């Protein structure tokens, strides 16, 4: 990954899920055009399968609704096969595939109501 987390944190784009003193995961998101773009969502290995990822995406979707945004967009690496079935289960529709920044990506969009 080549993300500049220091800048993203300073800009308020990183949101962290914490329980007690443990960081469980994080999401990086920001407004783009007509939607909120999720740049990155990650759940630490010990917490995977516990609902933290879903909680982070629910937070992002509520943040988008509160801001008046009508949609969410995100992408995953096509080699992360577990994500290819995970996002559609959450209502995200695949809208394209292609190479971006040297990665084979699958792009998703979810309309918010």
- Beta-carbon contacts of 109 under 8 Å, excluding residues fewer than 6 positions away, are 35, 71, 72, 73, 92, 93, 95
The answer to whether residues 90 and 57 touch, using CB atoms and an 8 Å cutoff, is yes
The answer to whether residues 59 and 47 touch, using CB atoms and an 8 Å cutoff, is no
- The pTM of the full predicted model, rounded to 2 decimals, is 0.89
Q: Please tell me the class of the 5-111 domain.
A: alpha beta
Tell me the pLDDT of the chain (113 aa) as tens digits.
567 878 888 888 899 999 999 999 999 999 999 999 999 999 998 888 889 999 999 999 999 999 999 999 999 999 999 999 999 999 999 999 999 989 999 999 999 98
Q: Would you kindly state where each structural domain of the chain is located, as residue ranges?
A: 5-111
């Amino acid at each position: 990954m080549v993300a500049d987390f220091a800048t993203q944190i300073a800009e308020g784009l990183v949101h962290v899920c914490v329980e007690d003193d443990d960081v469980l995961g994080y999401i990086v998101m920001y407004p783009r055009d007509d939607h909120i773009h999720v740049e990155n969502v990650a759940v630490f290995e010990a917490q995977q399968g516990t609902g933290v990822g879903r909680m982070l995406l629910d937070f992002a979707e509520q943040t988008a609704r509160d801001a008046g945004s009508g949609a969410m967009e995100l992408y995953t690496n096509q080699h992360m096969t577990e994500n290819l079935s995970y996002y559609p289960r959450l209502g995200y529709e695949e809208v394209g595939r292609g190479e971006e920044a040297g990665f084979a990506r699958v792009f998703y969009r979810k309309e918010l109501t």
